[in-house]
Chain A
Amino acid sequence: MSATTYRHRLYLVLSASHAIKGESALLRAGIPCALIPAPRAASSQCGVCLQVGFETREEAGDVLQKAGVQVAGTVDIPADSGRAGI
């Protein structure tokens, strides 16, 4: 049995304002990201979340924290999930 490989990390955030603030901080730091609808099952928060490449997840987390973006949770998306990517 092979270990799961991941393609994306979703950062679930408190609100659309936090999402946009996060997007602006990530882009400024040169980390590609996308604002996408949050998977309903994972989020009771706002409708959108921040998607980053799995390889940039740690760096992205630091940038978000430094920018004061309140992260309500994360979801890692496996490579074979069939979800659209950035």
Chain B
Amino acid sequence: MKPEMPSPMIHFHKRAPRVIYLDNAATSRPKPPEVPAAMARFLEEVGANPGRSGHRLSIEAARVVYRAREAVAELLGVADPLRVIFCANATYALNLALRGLVRPGRHVVTTGMEHNSVMRPLRALEAAGTGLTVVDCSAQGVLDPAAVERALRPETIMIVMTHASNVVGTLMPVKEVAEIARAHGLLLLVDAAQSAGALPMDFESSGADLLAFTGHKALYGPTGTGGLLIGRRVDLAGFEPLTRGGTGSDSDAELQPEFLPDKFESGTMNAVGLAGLEAGVRWLREQGVEEIRSREHRLTARLLEGLSEIRGVGVKGTGDASKQLPVVSFTIAGLDPGEIGLRLDNEFGIAARVGLHCSPATHQTLGTFPTGAVRLSLGAFNSASEVDHTLRAVQELARDADNGACRT
């Protein structure tokens, strides 16, 4: 008889009846109930292809997509919703901006705190003849904007930087770098995968020209949603799309339309996902970004303080909750992060993320490469008692490690 695959939920629940989910930096969980409800409603009541046909269901589907555009534009401070380009995730948005605008012979400056969704496309561009400078950050992950300015060359066209580290949550000096970019006539591309929705944001006054966001983290939407905000200083004529195809517009032309958002949105949109994203963003606005931020800030401070008091635990980053998002990484002397993650999950029902978090550059900066660290990332649904439970768990693991070290 063929062995059956265990049902992940049953398997999971047997070991850990209640999960403390501290992996919100990977994707937020749970989603507000409005999100699955909006997605089900779309599938059951609309379910047509947005903007492809003139019938009422297709028009309604296009309205759903537009409402998501409007919601994101309002939340992130974009004057024109049509400058919100939807795509599958932040990774696609970053690839679109980098590969669409950067040419061989030009030069790009980035930081030592980037995710591989920035680094890998940049390394590929570098291999094809684009100059690249990675500006070092301090061992706490802090970037000196003056170092960015020093890295500029006559052929530099763009600065790319994360808004907040996905490993230690550090808020990067986007405003200061934006001033440098403006002063030198450069484009600034911001990776806001972690920060969009987690902080109040105003794209128009931020100084960023392009901003990549993802829908499934602090915007509380489903996976498969994300996008790129395109500012008015970006020359659209010189901006190549990554994909070309049907857009529902200009249908008698075999050339890709030049106008937004169609130029960059070929193929059927993830309308069901965007229905969920709109619901997530609306929920967020009702709760208040500031409100959630201040709650998360308090919990982060509690977590940082608690961890820093545990013998053998090394907290990475600045250790200052007001300078970061609710993303905290640590190591325990003498314990492999993989083992810590497994024990947190199996023995304490805590879902954390261990390893390099798709950010080898960041871990090199923090001195945790190649072993990595344990990351705990909070979201809107976490509580102080969950933080306290986690602190007790880490304390126990650290004590075991300490005892083990004494025995040998």
Footprint of B on A, CB under 8 Å?
Answer: 14-21, 23-24, 35-38, 44-48, 68, 70
Given known pairs A35-B59, A70-B259, the reply for A17 and B69 (CB within 8 Å) is: yes
* Minimum C-beta distance from B265 to chain A (A): 9
CB distance from B159 to the nearest CB of A (A): 28
Q: Which of A21, A38, A45, A46 contacts B66 (CB 8 A)?
A: A21
- Interchain CB contact (< 8 A) of B248 among A21, A36, A47: A47
Would B252 and A44 count as touching, CB distance under 8 A?
Answer: yes
Assembled-state Cα–Cα distance A18/B80 (Å): 11
Residues of chain A within 8 A (CB-CB) of B59 are: 16, 19-20, 35, 48
Q: Is A47 in contact with B257, judged by CB distance below 8 angstroms? A: no
A15 near B66 with CB under 8 A, answer no
Most buried by A among B51, B65, B69, B259: B51
Please tell me if the beta carbons of A45 and B63 are within 8 angstroms of each other in the complex: no
Residue on B nearest A36 in the bound complex, by CB? B54
B71 to chain A, nearest CB (A): 12
Give the residue name and chain of the A residue nearest to B70 (CB): A24
Query: Which of these, B55, B249, B252, contacts A16 with CB under 8 Å?
Result: B249
**Residue B53, interface by CB 8 Å:** yes
Q: B261 at the A/B interface (Cβ < 8 Å)?
A: yes
Chain B residue numbers with a CB within 8 Å of A15 are 51, 247-250, 257, 259, 262
In the complex, the answer to whether B62 meets A14 with C-beta atoms within 8 Å is no
Nearest opposing residue in chain B for A44, CB measure: B252
Interface SS of chain B: loop
A47 and B80 form a contact (CB under 8 A): no
Q: How many residues of B sit at the interface, in one of the four size bands?
A: 20 to 34
The interface residues of chain A lying within 8 Å CB-to-CB of B247 are: 15
Asked if A68 and B50 make an inter-chain contact with CB atoms under 8 angstroms apart, the answer reads no
Is the CB–CB distance between B54 and A17 below 8 Å?
no
A42–B67 Cα distance when bound, in Å, is 28
Q: Which residue of B lies closest to A19 (CB)?
A: B62
Closest to A23 in B: B63
- When chains A and B are docked, how far (Å) is the Cα of A44 from the Cα of B250? 6
20 further A-B contacts with Cβ under 8 Å, apart from A15-B259, A20-B65, are A14-B249, A14-B259, A15-B247, A15-B249, A15-B250, A16-B52, A16-B249, A17-B62, A19-B62, A20-B59, A20-B66, A21-B82, A24-B70, A36-B54, A37-B55, A45-B249, A47-B52, A47-B58, A47-B248, A70-B259
Q: Could you tell me if B252 and A17 are in contact, using CB atoms closer than 8 angstroms?
A: no
B81 within 8 A of A: yes
CA distance A17 to B247 in the complex (A): 10
Instruction: Provide the residues of chain B in CB contact with A21, threshold 8 Å.
Output: 66, 81-82
Q: In whole Å, how far is B287's beta carbon from the nearest beta carbon of chain A? A: 24
Among residues of A, the one whose C-beta sits closest to the C-beta of B50 is: A16
Q: 1/0 contact trace for B318-337 toward A, CB 8 Å?
A: 00000000000000000000
The answer to whether A68 and B53 touch (CB under 8 A), given A16-B249, A17-B69, is no
